[in-house]
A and B are shown apart, each in its own frame.
Chain A
Amino acid sequence: MKRYSRHITLSEVGLIGQLKIAESKVLVIGAGGLGAPLLLYLNAAGVGTIGIVDFDTVSLSNLQRQVLFREQDLDLNKADIAKELLSARNSELNIKSYPVALTTSNALEIIKPYDIVVDCTDNFRTRYLINDACIKLNKPFVFAAIYKFEGQLSVFNYAGGPTYRCLFPTPPKAGEVPNCEEAGVMGVLPGILGTYQANEVLKMILNLGEVLSGKLVSINLLTNQQNSFQFRRNESLVKQVIEEDLSYIELNDCNINA
């Protein structure tokens, strides 16, 4: 516990709080720009069980922002290498890698054992799948998404709070919203948003402060402006998600390519 002494000294955390962190199980979906800082901080904080889902391999253009990875990691699976790198930094923790894509057939099984899910993906198809699976399993999930110099942040499905579909009911059409590859992205942007996600995860575990539920925070790095927009849960939409199969939902409202 000596390595966590700066946490334990905080009266808001203490030994009991640190034990809560050690007992928590967090699933990180996407080990990219958002996932890299998030994983480093959750690992450093002593989150007892961390799951990492990513089917992709490290490429040279990832290194500009995905600060977890090194040149020697090129072409290796991101989930597997992230597990190895995190274990070397904190060997006491249980870290599990899932070097697969999250799909309608494996999402429920992968998410089920975890307390908190973090959406660090880069496409709408997986974001809506995470949303719907978390509704079905009644798990909270911490969301962030980025565009060039701007980010969005929220915590969905937390203690009966609204979900991503309550904000944007259906996925945008293919090509409507460019990803980082198409639009470019300032490297520090996912660093900042991923760190905010780690902060929300730890607040939820420790029951500290005000969890960012029912509000979307919008951050602009060029103006340093932050705005927060309140929105409500759409109960009938949530009910539809609970009643339908994940594969049915995806086929019927998600005509985009991942």
Chain B
Amino acid sequence: MDVTLTYYGKLVEVVGKSKEVLDVEAITIQELVIWLENEYPDLKKLSLKIAQNNTIGELEDEITSKNIDIFPPFSGG
């Protein structure tokens, strides 16, 4: 299944793109985090949240949505 990852905020600069498509089968959010940290070691140091179907779920949730959003906290005001 093709899944589109959309990055927000500083993550766009860290991974060098705002979107990418991954071909995955039956993986969990936790497994996606491991893939992200292997692909982009600089992400290991950052706080981030992962949402699918516009909902932030648990790490053990299986990815069923074709659209995944990955965002950090912002601090500016």
Residues of A with Cβ closer than 8 Å to B?
30, 32-35, 119-124, 127, 144-148, 150-152, 167-168, 170, 172-173, 176-180, 183, 185, 190, 218, 220, 227-231
Contact = CB atoms under 8 A, between A and B. Distances in A.
B45 A173 contact: yes
Interface of B: 8-10, 45-47, 49, 51, 54-56, 69, 71-77
Contact of B51 (A144, A185, A229): A229
Given A229-B54, A230-B56, A145 B45 contact: no
B69 A227 contact: yes
A33 to B, nearest CB: 6
A32 B75 CA distance: 13
B77 A227 contact: no
* Nearest 9 interchain pairs by C-beta: A145-B74, A122-B77, A146-B76, A180-B76, A231-B56, A147-B74, A229-B51, A147-B9, A230-B55
Contacts of A122: 75-77
Contacts of A127: 75
Nearest to A169: B47
A168 B75 contact: no
B76 A183 contact: yes
30 contacts: A32-B77, A120-B77, A121-B77, A122-B75, A124-B73, A144-B77, A145-B75, A146-B76, A147-B10, A150-B8, A167-B56, A168-B49, A168-B73, A170-B47, A172-B46, A172-B72, A172-B73, A176-B45, A177-B9, A177-B74, A177-B75, A178-B10, A178-B75, A180-B77, A183-B76, A218-B71, A227-B69, A228-B54, A229-B51, A229-B56
Contacts, number: 94
Contact of A229 (B46, B55, B73): B55
Contacts of B9: 147-148, 150, 177
Contacts of A152: 71, 73-74
A145 B45 CA distance: 20
B56 A145 contact: no
A215 to B, nearest CB: 9
A144 B76 CA distance: 9
B75 A123 contact: yes
A33 B77 contact: yes
Q: Give the most central of A120, A172, A220: most B CB within 10 Å.
A: A172
Given A218-B8, A229-B69, A230-B54, A146 B77 contact: yes
